[in-house]
Structure 1
Amino acid sequence: MSFAQAQPTVEKTPYLRRTALVGLAAALVMAVAVAAGVRFGMLLLIGLGFGIALEGLRFGFAGPWRALILRREVAGVLAQLLAIGIVALVAIPLLSAQDGVLIGAHAPVGWAMLGGAFVFGIAMQVVLGCGSGTLVNAGSGNPVGLLALPFFAIGSFAGAFHLFWWTDLGTLAPVVLSGTSGLGVTLALLAAVAVVLLIIAEPGSRRLPGRLWLAAIAVAVLAIGNLVVAGQPWGVVYGLGLWAAKGAVAVGADLSGSGFWSADANALRLGESIFTDVTSLTNIGIIGGAGLVAVWRVGGLSAQLPRLPARAWIAVIVAGFLMGYSSRLAFGCNVGAFFSGISTGSLHGWAWFVMAFLGAVVGVRLRPALGLEARS
């Protein structure tokens, strides 16, 4: 067969693969919609959108924080602030108008919350992925993400089991920036942080490339959609803890000793399908969406095993567990606390941001000692 004859087959193969991927995603969404309801099918679709946007447009949290700490590159963090601001413009007025119908990511500030955010910041730099980043990395076949994810889930379950003990150490009532004034304060704080970043930035990183503009808008639109459809903001941590809790129950564990898991709402979810849990659905969608992008790009997952010493793999396991445990104490990760907390007017989101960033500085410096080569 000549080259001219063979060429159409070479071109057709990726087209067929990509068509099959789109068909598979659509079939999964339809299956969930039929089995659990249209609302839950929509949430899986939103989750797939998150995964596609995060992986396809390379929008993340841990990586841009690292770039800021090491090289004063601010574009990635500016994109995060832009996305948060867009969501806030819609979410804060919507929550005020739909009080009791929609809920925000509002949580108290306390010793456990502050300490949890700090530890999370350290751990997320060890694995180079936050809550959503770990899901994306696992979905795209990254071995570090695949190893960290189950321990993240176990840590989230354990943190929830002990949550009330930690919050009893001292917690303030939630402070919510609501209404027009709350929106104004939120946008002013976001702008102030952006100005500081622009002042300290390396000149070449001050402008957002088109990719990050598109990513910020896409993530914001999906987050707003999540709020409207789910009735609550985008989150990650609860769903992962629920998976581990279901596994514990399946092997005969008694969770009645945990005030968190024995609470009526959580006990009910333990007995229901994960396809009716809103956070689980978007988590599954993120994993699937990232996997779709990886296969779409190169025809396979990026599963090449990095050459790391044993202590580095042990560090990933420990960090994965600590990410789950600490994020539960901190009432969320980069998504549930930082992104959704700030965008729905919760003061704890700002406190989380400060403490987690301080932790990230420590985590970045810790990587070489753990045998993890520096990465941007």
Structure 2
Amino acid sequence: MNTLATTADRAASPPTPTRVNLWTHRLPLAIAVMGLFGWLVWSVSARQGLLLLVGVGLGWGLAAARFGFTTGWRHLVENKDPAGVYGQILLLALLAAMSMPLLGHFPEATAALGPPSFSLLIGAFVFGLCMQISDGCGSGTLYKAGLGVPLNMAILPMFAIGSFMGSVHLNDWLALGATEPIGLVDKLGAGGALTATLLALAVVAVGIRLWSGKRLSLKTIPSRWLWGAAVLAVFAALNLLIAGQPWGVVYGFGLWAAKGATALGLFDPTQNAFWSDPGHAQRLSQTLFLDITSITNIGILAGALWVAPKRPQETRPLTGVQWSVGLLAGFLLGYSSRLAFGCNVGAMVSGISTGSIHGWIWVPMAFLGTLIGIRVRRHFKF
């Protein structure tokens, strides 16, 4: 009765007050974003200002389309519903079609390369497991925190701490065994890499079609997965064009925690192999506003806030055990994503779309972890 009444009331409400309420809610955010944009252009660089807007677009696309990498995988496993995964395949195909020519035309642009290693295998598996427990990957944690989901808001700092700790230990993990990164664009050229990638994605789509029994058709996929894939592909390609590097999430988290630990005197970066590297040391000494990943992460939060309702949606209260398991999963998400050289965004989306072999290794290992993570999620009744 109450739900029906609420729905009827909303349907009967005139459109003008609704628009006024929305703009009353969003106007301060718009002012803040444009103020930060102007300050970045004036005081930092035009590139950083543009990347902020790219991040806003990514956050808006993720939140408005509810483009959840984690839920897409879970629905495929639990319900044999391939719509979300088909949407992700479309995203990869569109982004590869834009990114690989850019890499071929602009040699200064870099691919999201990661070394095949034991670190990658273990990190991807653990990440796939934990993302199902916490109901979010790197981008999912960001946009759901922006939407005001309590668990994801609490997981965000745990993710950052985990990413930092993973970076501190990364060289020890790589010592277990690693090979040089392999980039298809370097090996095959932009055209050959794109052809190989699209063929591989087609094979994956056919495999999912045979397993799920549901054919791949634009009519059978909810529109949000289609336009969400298109929006994310465009903004991710803009990220590569403007920044000269693919879209990433995890590095920014680790940098935030590293800066905090260093400022508190808890960490000496000069004694660590990862953070004493000249590139990482420079970012650690600079303002966060100069870091590419941090700026886009801030933009993603703002884009998700734009979509968020004025009043946060009610969520089912979690028990103490659920909170403990969720926060531990959040820490392990950060730790494992650093070992795996990215999350669903940095390793899968950016890795595959820019021709990195490590992205193709990441996916099956993360999917194996997902199969276990879904069982753990059921056990703790998330």
Deviation readout 1:301-328 (Å, 9 max, x if unpaired): 34x4532221111111111111111110
Most deviating of 159-168 and 249-258 = 249-258
2:120 is the counterpart of 1:113: yes
Name the residue aligned to 1:3: none
Residue type of the alignment partner of 2:362: W
User: What is the alpha-carbon distance in structure 1 between the residues aligned to residue 142 and residue 255 of structure 2?
Assistant: 15
Question: Per the alignment, do residues 10 and 63 of structure 1 end up closer, same or farther by CA in structure 2, a change over 3 Å counting?
Answer: closer
Question: Per the alignment, do residues 8 and 262 of structure 1 end up closer, same or farther by CA in structure 2, a change over 3 Å counting?
Answer: closer
Say if 1:120 and 1:333, in contact at 8 Å, map to a contact too: yes
Say if 2:164 and 2:257, in contact at 8 Å, map to a contact too: yes
Question: Per the alignment, do residues 87 and 13 of structure 1 end up closer, same or farther by CA in structure 2, a change over 3 Å counting?
Answer: closer
User: What is the alpha-carbon distance in structure 2 between the residues aligned to residue 11 and residue 157 of structure 1?
Assistant: 42
User: What is the alpha-carbon distance in structure 1 between the residues aligned to residue 249 and residue 82 of structure 2?
Assistant: 25
2:159 is the counterpart of 1:152: yes
User: What is the alpha-carbon distance in structure 1 between the residues aligned to residue 269 and residue 31 of structure 2?
Assistant: 40
Name the residue aligned to 2:4: none
Residue type of the alignment partner of 1:194: A
Say if 1:71 and 1:202, in contact at 8 Å, map to a contact too: no
Deviation readout 1:34-62 (Å, 9 max, x if unpaired): 22111101001000111100001111200
User: What is the alpha-carbon distance in structure 1 between the residues aligned to residue 68 and residue 378 of structure 2?
Assistant: 22
Match of 1:244 among 250, 254, 257: 257
Name the residue aligned to 1:320: 330
Shift of 1:91: 1.4
Name the residue aligned to 1:91: 99
Deviation readout 1:173-209 (Å, 9 max, x if unpaired): 1121121222111110011111111222253885222
Name the residue aligned to 1:232: 245
Say if 2:209 and 2:215, in contact at 8 Å, map to a contact too: no
Deviation readout 1:143-174 (Å, 9 max, x if unpaired): 11011110110010000001111001001111
Name the residue aligned to 1:259: 273
Say if 1:111 and 1:171, in contact at 8 Å, map to a contact too: yes
Residue type of the alignment partner of 2:350: S
Question: Per the alignment, do residues 15 and 107 of structure 1 end up closer, same or farther by CA in structure 2, a change over 3 Å counting?
Answer: closer
In structure 2, stretches of 5+ residues that fail to align are: 1-13
User: What is the alpha-carbon distance in structure 1 between the residues aligned to residue 172 and residue 31 of structure 2?
Assistant: 47
Question: Per the alignment, do residues 9 and 283 of structure 1 end up closer, same or farther by CA in structure 2, a change over 3 Å counting?
Answer: closer
Match of 1:342 among 343, 352, 374: 352
Match of 1:12 among 13, 20, 43: 20
User: What is the alpha-carbon distance in structure 2 between the residues aligned to residue 75 and residue 169 of structure 1?
Assistant: 38
Name the residue aligned to 1:272: 286
User: What is the alpha-carbon distance in structure 2 between the residues aligned to residue 354 and residue 7 of structure 1?
Assistant: 47
Q: TM-score, normalised by structure 1?
A: 0.92
User: What is the alpha-carbon distance in structure 1 between the residues aligned to residue 16 and residue 105 of structure 2?
Assistant: 56
Say if 2:29 and 2:302, in contact at 8 Å, map to a contact too: no
Name the residue aligned to 1:73: 81
Say if 1:308 and 1:372, in contact at 8 Å, map to a contact too: no
Say if 2:111 and 2:183, in contact at 8 Å, map to a contact too: no
Residue type of the alignment partner of 1:13: N
Say if 1:44 and 1:285, in contact at 8 Å, map to a contact too: yes
Deviation readout 1:286-343 (Å, 9 max, x if unpaired): 111111110xxx32334x4532221111111111111111110101000000000000
Shift of 1:96: 2.3
User: What is the alpha-carbon distance in structure 1 between the residues aligned to residue 15 and residue 87 of structure 2?
Assistant: 41
Match of 1:193 among 187, 204, 211: 204
Percent of residue pairs bearing the same amino acid type: 45
Say if 1:117 and 1:352, in contact at 8 Å, map to a contact too: yes
Say if 1:125 and 1:364, in contact at 8 Å, map to a contact too: yes
Name the residue aligned to 1:102: 109
Most deviating of 355-364 and 83-92 = 83-92
Equivalent pairs counted in the alignment come to 362
Secondary structure of 1:256's partner? Answer: helix
Secondary structure of 2:116's partner? Answer: coil
Q: TM-score, normalised by structure 2?
A: 0.91
